[in-house]
Structure formats: C-alpha cells, structure tokens
Amino acid sequence: MAKMDRVSVRAYAKVNFTLDILGREGEFHLLDSLVSTVSLYDRVTAVRREDGALSVDFRGAEALGSVPPESNASRAARAFMQAFSAGGADVRIERHIPAGGGLGSSSADAAGVLLALAGLYGVTDMVRLKAIADSLGSDTGYLLTGGWARMTGRGERIAPLADMPVLHLLLLLPPAGVSTPRCFAEYDRRGEAFAPRTQLAIGLLRAEGAGGARAFTNALTRAACSLGGGVARALEEAKALSPLGSGMSGSGSACYAVFASEADCLAARERYTGNAAALCVRTVPQR
C-alpha cells in the first residue's frame, strides 16, 4: 500500500446483542458476546507531517461526554508511531458516538486512529495492528474490522460470523452515561448468575432473521439499571416500541429496540415521546 498525505476513515460504534459473563481471569471478567458494528460513527482524519510531531484533536458536541487528557485515541497514535517508526501526523476526530453509552466510543476512536495512520503510512500488517489494539482496550481489536462477530475471553478473541441478517435498531441514548468499572463492580456485588444465551441468539438470528432478537440478553442489565442514569426507563421504552426484541449494549447506558426494516424503525422513532435521544441505525458488515 502506497503512503498517502491524508486519510479519513469511519470509526463505527458497536452494539452488544448478548453479553454473557462466564467467570473471571484475575482482574478481568471472561465474556461471551454477540456484537455488531452499526451505522453510527466518528470520523477520524489523519494528515501527514514531515517534522515528526503528533497531535490528536477532538471535535464534537460537549453532550457526547468529555474526553480524558490521556485518551485511547492519543495512546493509539503514539503506539502506532513507535511500532512502525512512522513520521508525524495531525489526527482529527469528529465525534458522534456518545461516551458512557456502551457503544465503544473510545475503542472506536482508537481503532479509527490505527486504521487512518495505517493508511497514511502504507501499513498492512493487521497482526501487529491487532496486537496494539488489544493493548488499548477489550473492544479495540474487534473494531479494527467490525461486522458481526462473537467476542470471547476478555473481548480480545474475535470470531467473525457469516450469514447474519441486517438489523435496524432504534437507539435510545439517555442523557447520562454509565461507568463501565462501576457497572462490573455492581454486577459482582449483586452476585447474580445468568444462563448464557450467545449461542442460542446466533442460531435464532440465522434461522429467523430479526425474529431471533427475542434471545438477546445482557448480564449487566440489572447492575446498570441500579446505577441510575435513565437506563431502566430507556429499557422499558425500548421494550414497548418493538415486539421483536430489545436490550442494553455493553455496560449501558444505550438501549435499543430491534426492527426488521428501516421503515418500521423510522415509524417507531416518530412514536417515541421519551427524554432519551433516539437514533435509527442498522448493522454494518465487516470492513
């Protein structure tokens, strides 16, 4: 791949349709999750510099949540430069994915930075890029490629899934996010056990399309609802909007209602009268 002077990529959000917790490995929870990228994305643009300097700039509504001084995107940029002895770059991230929603916003940005810089400097070694991504967060390696997948382990083991349907989702985004560490801590404190559903959900989706959404479940849902932030209300509203299925993504706060068509999704958005932001998206294929 030839080097370029400017590269722009879409950094897609993800939705967890199942999230089973199978135990622990040290400080990490062991997961089994059916996940797909969706058509909500941040835009990451990288422009070559010849002086070796590196900058990462975020642009986007403050309502999407603050960006920490040491962001995953900045860490990704520095790790790429070190791993591939690359020159400098100016990286701009136009934000659309809300932070604290369980949609992978910081992981998406980190993956987008790696992909944009790889395009800028002609890097095609996906094995090394995946290793960098895995060091940055459990979803980042997956979001390099996206699409339908089954994530296991700490989230670093990715099995792409073929023959999966396109789902249309009405995302309900409460004003407040949920802290992932707090949600997992609350899950541990509650000591609840839930039967795994990921394998069942994969089989039903392949057999029935959107009708298989009735198998969607998330072991963190009760914990997230107990932490407030509007999750419980958004989840009840999502359930009322679709007979096919609904749920919460990741550790919240984003909830979703499932539809078989864009028209049905748009009609549900018109009916919705709650206080969460409502956005129609669809699942998108692997890069």
Give catalytic residues, as residue numbers. 14, 139
DSSP 174: -
Number of continuous H segments (helices) and E segments (strands) in the chain? 9, 12
Give yes or no for a cis peptide into 66 (omega within 30° of 0). Answer: no
With a CB cutoff of 8 Å and minimum separation 6, the contacts of 257 are 169, 170, 172, 238, 239, 241, 242, 244, 245, 246, 268
Query: How many angstroms separate the CA atoms of 147 and 162, rounded?
Result: 9
- Give the residue carrying structure tokens 């699942």: 283
SS3 (DSSP) at 44: strand
Q: At what angle do helices 126-136 and 105-121 cross, to 10 degrees?
A: 150
> What amino acid is encoded at 278 in this protein?
A
Distances in Å between the Cα of 101 and the Cα atoms of 87, 119, 233, 273 are: 34, 29, 14, 20
Instruction: Determine the angle formed by the axes of helices 72-84 and 105-121, rounding to 10 degrees.
Output: 30
Centroid of chain to Cα 268? 23
Query: Residue 127 contacts by C-beta under 8 Å, 6 or more apart in sequence?
Result: none
**What is the distance between the alpha carbons of residues 116 and 109, in angstroms, rounded to a whole number?**
10
